[in-house]
Amino acid sequence: MPLCRLLEAQGASTLRLPAVEIKSLGDRRALAADLSALEGFDLIIFTSANAVRFGASFLGQKRDLPLAALGAATARALNQAGYRVAVQPVGTTDSEGLLLHPRLERLAGHRILIIKGSNGRQLLEQELTRRGAQVVQADVYEVVPATPSAATLAVVHERFAAGELHVITATSLNLAGALLELAPLKLRSEFERVHWLVPGARIAAGLRERGLKAPLLQAESAEDQDLVAALLRWRSSVSGA
């Protein structure tokens, strides 16, 4: 995992606990038939790197389609797959930032395709529709809760009890929520004793709504380097360096 490698390069010890699983969704042949006329869309939006992982194949060899990417990781995934991104968020890396792009201001008569996960936010679809666009959504993957074994959770609790874990990183609200849900009561109490590193105010607010009272560290985005930078700033302030 790139984030773990970056943290370990800074001297941190990391522990990976998968809270969700990403699975391909639906009948891909039927979806391919539905998306056969991609040239009819004025813009095709990929909402995540996973959307690219499971949905880029529908683009085929059509390299000149107008594409938008939600976040730098999504744009990188499209570029690595050989596609050029025309529209990216302005200011922030989320849906709110994408909606600030000038190309999305006047959309009457436009057709927009959103390639996404099944349980993603609906803000884009709602706002683009309000601006006059005809929006089609293609769900290409789903996020489901993981089921760590009792032994795995016991190891995590032992690390907390030994004072070896000081920060939990959750890069999305779905991920954070799943992590809270899977934790037994004893482990959940440990979650409240450490800092949570999150990408931005929206996820911080969502965790508060879910009852988390632990101290929060906010990064500028979900990009790995921003998460590491936020953690380094916190460590510097704690150590007084």
Question: Domain boundaries in the chain?
Answer: 2-19+147-239, 22-144
**Helices H, strands E: what count in the chain?**
11, 8
Task: Output phi, psi for 54, to 5 deg.
Answer: -100, -10
Tens-digit pLDDT profile for residues 13-49: 999 998 999 999 877 787 877 787 899 999 999 999 9
Distance between CA 91 and CA 189 in Å, rounded? 36
Sort 41 into a burial class: Cβ within 10 Å, 0-12 / 13-18 / 19+. Answer: buried
Question: Which regions in the chain score pLDDT beneath 50?
Answer: none
Sort 47 into a burial class: Cβ within 10 Å, 0-12 / 13-18 / 19+. Answer: buried
Distance between CA 50 and CA 175 in Å, rounded? 14
Q: What is the pTM of this model?
A: 0.84
Q: What is the pLDDT of residue 239?
A: 67
**CATH code for the part of the protein at 22-144:** 3.40.50.10090
Q: What is the pLDDT of residue 34?
A: 77
Distance between CA 1 and CA 229 in Å, rounded? 17
Q: What is the pLDDT of residue 107?
A: 96
Q: Do domains 2-19+147-239 and 22-144 have the same CATH topology?
A: yes
Tokens of 168: 């939990």
Choose the CATH number for 2-19+147-239 among 3.90.550.10, 3.30.450.20, 3.30.70.260, 3.40.50.10090.
3.40.50.10090
Q: What is the pLDDT of residue 240?
A: 58
Can you tell me whether residue 126 is helix, strand or coil? helix
Distance between CA 134 and CA 104 in Å, rounded? 12
Task: Output phi, psi for 194, to 5 deg.
Answer: -115, 170
Q: Which of 121, 140, 173, 120 is nearest to 23 (CA)?
A: 140
